[in-house]
Structure 1
């Protein structure tokens, strides 16, 4: 069985470590973690099946590419990559923007987001 490749892109290393911990025990999946959209884009040659992408990158400084910009660039490179947007914001106006720009799912970082994310990744792969 070929493993599915998932990219995790978030500037919060605690979130990345949590996602890595959960997915290291999931059979059939490999993952790579990145702290910026730029890093993610440089590694698209690995052809991920799913990219889990944070909406806001605030920890690395003001010049970081946003999640929305990264989403658009990912799909310019490969329209077949499925992108799941993550955000800690509770802004209902973001959902249509994410979908309009090609995201397959939107998950809010709340107490249950890991369960929702695992379910979404399984559904999309």
Structure 2
């Protein structure tokens, strides 16, 4: 985390209305630094700014049918930095899609709905609580 410990998140979605809505929710309800991208390619091109977490749409072909899909983008993110947590987001409520995302090392999978923002907030909090606990445990273990 950078900038006075503010969490930097990338929101990646080809649905401009959903993306803007999610961005507004995060800006008004959190203290996060938010960057938005309409394609996986744009997200990949900006990874050097080191986001703390990425929320990534599964489909990503609404603007350009030849655009990189969410799974390919996830794989590229993990190639760049395997420790960057990615939460996949999709309108598809299918277990095989969720399993595929988890197989590709997504931290979690959230279905787009009216409660998506709340669930994303909860997942982000859970991730950073887990990381804090892991760091504390490692510190204690190194003292033994």
Provide the TM-score with structure 1 as the length reference.
0.94
* Structure 2: gaps (5+ residues): 129-144
Larger helix proportion, structure 1 or 2? Answer: 2
Once the 2 structures are TM-superposed, how far is the Cα of residue 97 of structure 1 from its aligned partner? Answer: 1.1
Question: Residue in 2 aligned with 1:58?
Answer: 61
- 1:40-98, CA deviations, whole angstroms, 9 ceiling, x for partnerless residues? 00000010010000000132122100000000000000011000000001211112111
Count residues in correspondence.
Answer: 125
Tell me if structure 2 keeps the 8 A contact 1:55–1:86.
Answer: yes
Task: Pick from 111, 114, 117 the counterpart of residue 120 of structure 2.
Answer: 117
- 1:20-45, CA deviations, whole angstroms, 9 ceiling, x for partnerless residues? 11111244310100000000000000
* Structure 1: gaps (5+ residues): none
- 1:99-119, CA deviations, whole angstroms, 9 ceiling, x for partnerless residues? 111100100012211110111
- Structure having the higher Rg: 2
Tell me how large the CA RMSD over aligned residues is: 1.2
How does 1:2-81 map onto structure 2 within 5 Å? 2-81=5-84
Distance 2:115 2:7 in 1: 23
Question: Residue in 1 aligned with 2:91?
Answer: 88
Larger strand proportion, structure 1 or 2? Answer: 1
Higher relative contact order (CA 8 A, sep 6+): 1
Moved over 3 A (4+): none
Provide the TM-score with structure 2 as the length reference.
0.82
